[in-house]
Structure 1
Amino acid sequence: MSDPFGTAELRVALLDAWRRSPTRLIEDAATEADHVRGGYRDRVFTELVQNAADAANRAGVAGVVSVWADGESVHVANTGEPIDRTGVESLASLRASRKDVDSVGRFGVGFTSVLSVSDDVEIRSQSGSVRFSAALTKSELSAVGITAEKVPVLRLAWPSDAAVRTGFATEVVLHDVRGGARNLLRQFTDQVFDLLLELPSIASITVDGQTFERRERALGNGLTEVVIADRVWWQFVGPHARWLLPIIAGRPVASAPDVLRAPTRSDEELTLPVIVIGSPSLQPDRRRILPGSRVEHLMDGYGQFAAALPSEDRLVVVPRARFARGDIDALLREAALQQLQTSAWLPVVGSDDPVRPGRAVVLPGLSAELEDVLADTVDGLIAADLSGRHQLAALRAVGAHEVGLARLADLLSGLDREPGWWRRLYDSVEPLVVDAVAVEELGGLPVPLADGRTVTGPRTTLLPSDLPDDPALANVHWARLVHPDAAHPLLARLGAAPVNAAGLLSDPALEQLVLDGEDVADVVLVLAAAVADEELPTWLGLVELADDDGDHRPADELLLPDAPLRSLLSVDAPFGTVADDLVHRFGAGVLRKLGVGWSFLVVRDESPTGPDHELPDEEQWWAQCADEPETLAAVRDLDLIDDTAWEEAISVLANDPETASIVADRAGYTAWWLRNHGVIGDRRLGAFCDPRDPVLAGLLDPYPGVVVVPALLASLDDLDADFAQLLVDRLANESRTPNPAAIVRVHTVLATAVAEGRLEPMDIHLPDRVRAIDGSLVNADDAIVLDQPWLASVVPASRLVVSGLSTAGVLAHLLDLPLASNVVSAQIVSAGVKTLWANEPEFVLDAVARGIDLPSGPVVVHDDLVVKVSGAVDGTFSVREWVDEAGVTNLCRRR
């Protein structure tokens, strides 16, 4: 058997050394065991693939590794440079490993990792094959008289005739694998992806027939796409390290917590969002960084990596806030953040060049729509796809300046933009206003007004509601009206109050402008046209409009050209005619809302405090009111009606829905004024009665007009001194024909007014004659006021003046007439029978028939009740009833 690597000489020399120094044997066995249990545990496949990578690099070929099982043996073959004598010597020396600058590890101490799975290892190569075996070593030691419990496996090598598999340079065979060959293959499969990433000189690895290839594709900007099977990474090569990001669904994502790859996996745990692969100085077992070694340089150029990524994915590389997993992790995290803070990589709106984070500002929650609006407004604004609230922590970590809604409002202050731009801004900002804090922060948001101004803060503005689209609204300078093109619901959430045309026309600021005589006619008319049924303030009647002479007069001093009121006014009424062009532009209805006359105008006051409405004789009406009115609704300018037009005026007032209820209110100012000042012929309206009035129709003239409004005519409910005098005079007028009921009613009303103090007798001029109950006129000297009902049976009706018996004394005082009981004396001359009311069937039946209670006490019954009368009346009379001086009732039986 050939021995190309001189293994026989190596065995002889080593056996001789062990014989001379048994301690050396023990030390070699212990050292090998330490390597297996310590630094190279779980690194079998890693160490073998590292050796394959070195072999490929030396040969300048793409590394190919193949792994398969043969029974319980596992074969690991690779392409590249075959093993040489120096390599075998390195393996057998245990303490030496040939290294080049470009080497990862080539059959050095790391090869001892194979002993964790097998004590019988064979290396087959195109240059020859060797075998290491614990059994062979023990046999060799026994042959030379050395006994050892534990022996080093990789010290004694034997030549082998086994050939390497065709197509490969070297093949490592692990015989009799502990734990089973299939289980080891599964472990190797799990490590394939890491090794292909870490060792780019390895192009493919095949395990148990399944091939994993590493494919690369340049993406531009220094990025390389690395694909292994169905997994993808993006790689960027820095000066001292490579960084990789996993790709999921075409987008880079942060790597899970990992370890530093140097270039294969070390024990230095990392929390960086990228896989870091470099070549730092490691301890001999390649698990830890050599103490004192500099590692920060591994992150040099990291900012360039961020800049190479698509703009929307750049924050993926920012280390998230978390506790470092060790000193190395802390150093690399800090170095990565420093690189990101000092490099230009953040994309900003409106620029093709990225900026350093310190020169960028982030508005959390920025949308694409808001980004578009703010593109030329906020310098250094980070793009929307990097401004999500979940990305804010990363931006803070690299030093980007955060701006809240309050700061945004400040930045927008003083901007000159057209109203539509502001509406787009409000629409884009609205999704960010999620709570009361956001509302407060936007308290200083600029708002463009209809008059061209831009003011600070929505709370002082008014949002147009159902306003017309008319250029005249630009003249609404008395109110902070938001420009219609900028109006947006967000402003209402920020405190702007909705306002419609009626609200603008009711503004006290407009009233002051009108009082100051400012020309606001056009805008007021446009707003009035937009008002539906709301009642407008009466002071809008002071708005000056053009008349048909080209002059300007208050609206309430103008009439429409065809106004019905024109024919009712006196010739000296101070009204002009509104200009025709205003009628054509706005229509009669709009002009009437401002007070331009068509029919009678109305004054309304829901809370009047006094007679201050410039109504004629208003003070007199106010004084005669028993209680101050709670509301006031009155027709204006009644004093301008021509004296010959009152019948027509009453008809107009009664048929106009605006005034009909007002003139029908007897207690109101309008009905009061018309009763006292409206004149038909030579009589005031209050001297006429309703033709249907059963009491007054026989005393007063009926109203001659077609339309009768009772509230404007005489009523016994409105008795004053003048009306009382009229009634007294009409009762004494022989041309009047009141019926008995009317006579009694009028007398009772007059007496009641005196009794209640509403009428003073001295204010009434008494006529020579008075009206008796039978309708006849009787000289006052012959008249008697009935105060006891039984006296009516002996006093002629032609002499009796009658009211309600309770007011007889007051009526006698008013008319200066005697009471009947004072001027008539009587004595009962017939004999009667004294009995009780309850004993007389006739009286009981009479009470039942009339529905009254039967009187109690005594009653005197006569067959013929006869009284003898003296005084104002003399004679003897048969009567039905009489009350004697004792107060006892005397009655005559019915026959």
Structure 2
Amino acid sequence: MTGPGTADPFDTAALRAGLLTAWRSSPTRLLEDTNSEADLVRSGYRDRVLTELAQNAADAAARTGIPGTLRVWRDGRRLHVANTGAPLDATGVEALTALRASAKTDGVGRFGVGFTAVLAISDDVEVRSTTGSIRFSAAATRDALAAHELPAPESGAPVLRLAWPSTTPPAPGSDTEVVLDLRDGIDARSLLADFRSEAVDLLLELPALVTVVVDGDELTRTELDLDSGLREIRVGNQRWWEQRGASARWLVPVVDDRVAPVQHDVLRAPTRSDEELSLPALVIGDVAMQPDRRRILPGARVEHLAHGYARFVAAMPPARRADLVPAPGFARGEVDARLREAVLADLRAHPWLPAADGGDDLLPDRAALLPGLDAALATALTDVVPGLIDPRLGGTRHVAALTAAGVHRIGLARVAELLTGHDREPRWWYRLYEALAPLVTDPVAAEELASLPVPLTDGRTVTGPRTTVLASDVRGLGDASLPWVRLVHPEAAHPLLTRLGAGTATAEDLLADPALLAAVDRVDGDDPDPEGAAQVADVVLRLAAQVAPSAVPRELGALPLPDVDGELVPADELLLPGAPLADVLVDDSPFATLSSDHVDRYGVDALRAVGVGWGFTVLDVEMPTGPDHELPDEDDWWATLADDPDVLVAVRDLDLVADDRWPEALSLLAADPDTASALADRDGYTAWWLRTHAVLGDQRLGLLRHADDDVFAGLLDPCTHPDAGVFRQCLASDVVDDPELAELLLDRLGDPDREPEPAPVVAAHTALARAAAGGTVDTDDLILPSGVRSLAGTVADAGDALVVDTAWIGAAVPADRVVVGELAVAGALADLLDLARASSEVHGEPVSVGRATTWRREPAAVLAAASAGVPLPTAPLTVHERLVVRCSGAVDGDVDVPWWTDGSGTVHCSPAGLAVAVVALARP
């Protein structure tokens, strides 16, 4: 064999001679070699040119222990691939020419069958090395076959079986260089672009290779050991984190300092194969592969590659670990299925899950996953839920993967169960509810929390929001106990509880709760419980301070409160210290004085709202249905009503005012807007009761008139109280509405010492007549005076007086005998006063003969009608220069009158009487 310094350092001549002899002795072998080489080119190595050459370069670098460099460039139609490392040797040449054999004893590949990949792009290949160079050529092979009289197969001749020596050395700086003459049809530009895209993968897969330069574009791999135990690999601007195990290397891309799980890749053994994987990380491992390195050998195991995967995941930042758990789904093949299951088995067997409390990593079967868990909820539940994992791993997209890895998934129902029995501050529960709220997105989630514990104001923690009530806008309860209702502690009152079925109640609702009224009844017995009463009173008064007084049920007036002697007394039987009401009540009033401690603690407004007195108390009831409000004489007032009132507004305790203290009591009533408002309703209970019972001087209010009201002037005395304007409706009006007022008016009409003017007299007669006619006054119960008031202002003897019941007769009767009211009630007035009617006692006919005419012809009549706005009469008319009527009966003789109506219905008038008659006849 020739040496390195000869023209054929690797004795290729002997190799050719031996192979040609073999082909000549066995033409079938020539055909087999040709077909095998063609098969590898067409299938096994169709797209692996750079990969196979890079494997050889990595092997060469590994043998010398130096960082390997691979350079690729184009020179016209020639492609150059050069590397550093161990140069070509005789065994390498033998491997290149032996189609089915390789001299490799370690490393990825060293001039084995993979070199066949170059034939995919070239039929003329030269391997240049510092130890010598060889050349392969399809044309030279065909010539050799012809020279040895060997028929070339129809499929062509095997290119890489016969080698010829070459004298061309490798490019400077390289130890070996492969030069390929590109076959026609090969796009060199596109080929280099493909090589550039493969370069990054090759630098990851082949550790011995450090630098790859493709047509001037240089990529270099750098490595840095991290504190986490991972190794960071950089190629250009791309990064990976790597974990090296006994049988495999695991890598995951890192983008913007965040793990970017792989979506789809293949098994790398160590370079890319055709075994598709669905793992979230790249795996580069040692697996027995078929000669073309595209598929694993039948029966080869891949499970060992997963050993250490959990350690790889545990080295990741806690928030990103779940990203590296294989998501459930269909495997992309048998290898993928086996490797996925092995990875999950490794994850199940080792601790790698970060705990929510920051403690040691957890084994999956000791860990609990709550979907939707966030940092706030994790903080609340760390010592409640054992093995709770870091909330950053609880995203919806990770649930299925973590469950497949053996993590126990828990739901809200389990959380509620684990919370049972825990005693925490109300604010802790509020924070828990706040953290749970985002998870309650539908009725199913709400139902899972049906047994969620809830703290109450009384210190208890109960199970289930549906049994509790939240106080809406209720303040100041603090830790007050509301034993009659399961009231959520205000510091724990979160809107989530309402969504979970808790009721809501305002301060008004709580005060109106029948259970509260029952609780008041229980403590307000014959032997009140001081402690229980104080507890109930404390809550009631705190609530009462937050509502309008009208919203406090009047039944709470029974609330027991301590008086100045410490005795428990119902609130509505107590007065505030210094209450002005106390100064106007009778000496034996049932009211006691409230303890001043309660005033200091709860304030006047809350105490007055439950009935503790200061001034008079107003009762306000909507839609009352009867006299059942414990008001004095309420039945009598109710009997005066035609219909039930829509609202009952009444001042209480008026019957307790001392008779000699009414001036002060009226001032107190007038000064308070609430009581003053009640005084303004004349038909209301308060005004009625004061008219009927209140006394100023020696007279009831209902028998006094307001000083500005002159309807009954001279008959009723004016009220001189300075606040009379406020309680005006409690005084007499122009209506006689009670028998005592009627009796008083009759007496004063018959009192000669009084000198009323005619108008009040007529008004009084009219009002009395109407009262009698309407049944307000029973005439049988009246005592009539001996005298009656005449139109002349005198007191006439009842036997001589006449009630004017027709307009024209009044002018014929002397004024000192006439008793006048409105003509419409003349009959009722006569009956009331037991007097004769003028029309039945006085008769008359005109003496003179007048001028027959019509109303339309008389200017004075037309003017009167137009001025009064009334129609002209239609009765026959006779006008007299002087109208004299000859009277008989109670009046005897001739009398001058302005007008008269005779028995036939003809109206007789003097010129001056025309206007009077027009107006009088126009009345109904």
Q: What TM-score does the superposition give when structure 1 sets the normalisation length?
A: 0.93
Tell me: CA distance 1:761–1:469, structure 2 relative to 1, closer, same or farther (3 Å).
Answer: closer
Equivalent position to 2:562, from 546, 555, 566:
546
- Are residues 1:117 and 2:121 paired? yes
**Residue in structure 2 matched with residue 844 of structure 1 by the alignment:** 862
Deviation at 1:166, TM superposition (A): 5.5
Partner of 1:605: 621
Residues 676-708 of structure 1, C-alpha deviations (whole Å, 9 max, x = no match) = 111234432222222332222221222243321
Matching of residue 378 in structure 1 with residue 385 in structure 2: yes
- The one-character-per-residue Cα deviations of 1:835-888 (angstroms, maximum 9, x if unpaired) are 332333443344334433222242122233332211112112232212111111
What SS is found at the alignment partner of 1:743? helix
Unmatched 5+ residue regions in structure 2?
1-5, 524-532, 914-924
CA contact (8 A) 1:452 1:474 kept: no
1:359 is matched with 366
Aligned to 2:3: none
Deviates more, 1:574-583 or 1:178-187: 178-187
> 1:309 — aligned with what?
316
Alignment-derived partner of residue 922 in structure 2 = none
1:118 maps to a residue whose letter is S
**1:44-59 superposed matches below 5 A:** 44-59=49-64
1:618 aligned to which of 616, 634, 641: 634
State the match for 1:158 in structure 2.
164
* TM-aligned CA deviation for residue 734 of structure 1: 1.7
Q: Distance in 1 between matches of 2:685 and 2:749?
A: 29
**How far, CA to CA, are the matches of 1:821 and 1:347 in structure 2?**
117
Q: CA deviation at 1:586?
A: 4.2
Q: Is the 8 A contact 1:794 1:877 kept in 2?
A: yes
2:773 aligned residue:
755
Report the equivalent of 1:170. Answer: 176
Report the CA distance between 1:245 and its aligned residue.
Answer: 0.8
Match of 1:90 in 2: 95
Residue 281 (str. 1) matches residue 288 (str. 2): yes
Say whether residues 1:15 and 2:20 are aligned partners: yes
* SS of aligned partner of 1:702: coil
- 1:562 deviation in Å? 2.1
Name the residue aligned to 2:583.
567
Pairwise CA distance, 1:667: 0.9
SS at match of 2:480: helix
State the Cα distance separating 1:256 from its structure 2 match. 3.3
Aligned pair partner of 2:894 in 876, 879, 882: 876
Cα deviation digits, residues 227-278 of structure 1 (max 9, x gap): 2232221222334322211111222211131111122111122222111222
| Alpha-carbon distance between aligned partners in 2 of 1:576 and 1:857, rounded to the nearest angstrom | 76
| Shift, 1:417, TM fit | 0.9
* Identity percentage of aligned residues: 54
1:482 alignment counterpart: 488
- Superimposed CA distance per residue, residues 469-511 of structure 1 (whole angstroms, 9 cap, x where no aligned partner): 575x423333433333334444455555665655544443332
Deviation at 1:176, TM superposition (A): 4.8
- 2:649 is the alignment partner of 1:645: no
Deviations 1:288-313 (A, max 9, x none): 22233333333233333222322211
Match of 1:418 in 2: 425
CA offsets 1:58-92 (integer angstroms, 9 cap, x no match)? 44544333334444333333344333333322322
Alignment of 1:214-233 (within 5 A): 214-219=221-226, 222-233=229-240
1:450-465 matched pairs, under 5 angstroms? 450-464=457-471
Shift in Å at residue 662 of structure 1? 0.9
Inter-partner Cα distance in structure 2 for 1:485 and 1:119:
86
1:622 counterpart letter in structure 2: W
Write the letter of the residue equivalent to 1:378.
Answer: V
Matched residue type, 2:22: A
SS at match of 1:717: coil
Cα deviation for residue 719 of structure 1 reads 2.0
In 1, are the aligned partners of 2:875 and 2:905 still within 8 Å (CA)? no
Pairing partner for 1:250 from 257, 269, 272? 257
Whole-angstrom distance in 1 between the partners of 2:480 and 2:359: 41
CA contact (8 A) 2:477 2:490 kept: no
Task: Say which of 851, 855, 871 aligns to 1:833.
Answer: 851
In the aligned structure 2, how far is the partner of 1:877 from the partner of 1:532?
Answer: 73
Q: Distance in 2 between matches of 1:206 and 1:588?
A: 93
Q: CA deviation at 1:426?
A: 2.5
Q: 1:651 to 1:187 in 2, by over 3 A?
A: closer
Compared CA separation, residues 311 and 626, structure 1 to 2 (3 A) = same
Write out aligned runs for 1:179-328 (5 A). 179=186, 183-219=190-226, 222-328=229-335
In 2, distance between residues paired with 1:844 and 1:663? 49
Change (3 A) 1:581 1:187: closer
Corresponding residue of 1:5: 10
Q: From the superposition, tell whether residues 663 and 229 of structure 1 become closer, same or farther in structure 2 (CA, over 3 Å).
A: same
Give the whole-Å Cα distance in 2 for the aligned partners of 1:217 and 1:289: 32
Quick one: which amino acid aligns to residue 180 of structure 2? L
Supply the AA of the counterpart residue of 1:151: A
Give me the whole-angstrom Cα distance separating, in 1, the residues matched to 2:867 and 2:272. 127
User: Which of 135, 142, 150 matches 2:139?
Assistant: 135
Amino acid at match of 1:12: A
Determine the structure 2 residue equivalent to 1:78: 83
C-alpha distance in structure 1 between counterparts of 2:429 and 2:779, whole Å: 80
Pairwise CA RMSD of aligned residues? Answer: 2.8
1:35 maps to 40
Aligned counterparts, 1:608-687, within 5 A: 608-687=624-703
Three-state SS of the structure 1 residue aligned to 2:735 is: helix
How far apart are residue 94 of structure 1 and its match?
Answer: 1.6
Matches within 5 A, 1:684-833: 684-708=700-724, 709-833=727-851
In 1, are the aligned partners of 2:712 and 2:763 still within 8 Å (CA)?
no
Is residue 749–residue 789 contact of structure 2 (8 Å, CA) maintained in 1?
yes
Instruction: Please say which of residues 137-146 and 175-184 is displaced more in the overlay.
Output: 175-184
- Mapping 1:523-538, distance limit 5 Å: 523-531=539-547, 535-538=551-554
Partner deviation per Cα, 1:806-859 (whole Å, 9 max, x = no partner) = 222222222222222222222333222333323334433443344332222421
Q: Say which is worse superposed, 386-395 or 167-176, in terms of deviation.
A: 167-176
Cα deviation, residue 529, structure 1:
4.3
Q: Write the distance in 2 (CA, Å) between the matches of 1:183 and 1:728.
A: 131
Unaligned runs of 5+ in 1: none
The normalised TM-score by structure 2 is: 0.90
Q: Secondary structure at the match of 2:887?
A: strand
Is the contact between residue 801 and residue 818 of structure 2 (CA under 8 Å) also seen in structure 1? yes
Q: Rate the CA distance shift 1:138–1:740 in 2: closer, same or farther, 3 A.
A: same
Deviation, 1:383, is 0.7
Alignment partners' CA distance in 1, 2:861 and 2:230: 130
Distance 2:810 2:76 in 1: 153
- The total of aligned residue pairs comes to 893
Contact kept? 1:222, 1:237, Cα under 8 Å: no
Give the residue type in structure 2 aligned to 1:818: A
State how far apart, in whole Å, the 2-side matches of 1:839 and 1:165 are: 150
Instruction: Give deviations 1:724-783, integer Å, cap 9, x for gaps.
Output: 222222222222222222222222222223333333332222222222222211222212
Q: What residue is the counterpart of 2:456 in the other structure?
A: 449
Find the partner of 2:110 among 100, 106, 109.
106
54-63 or 807-816, which moves further after superposition?
Answer: 54-63
The alpha carbon displacement at 1:197 in A equals 1.6
Three-state SS of the structure 2 residue aligned to 1:428 is: helix
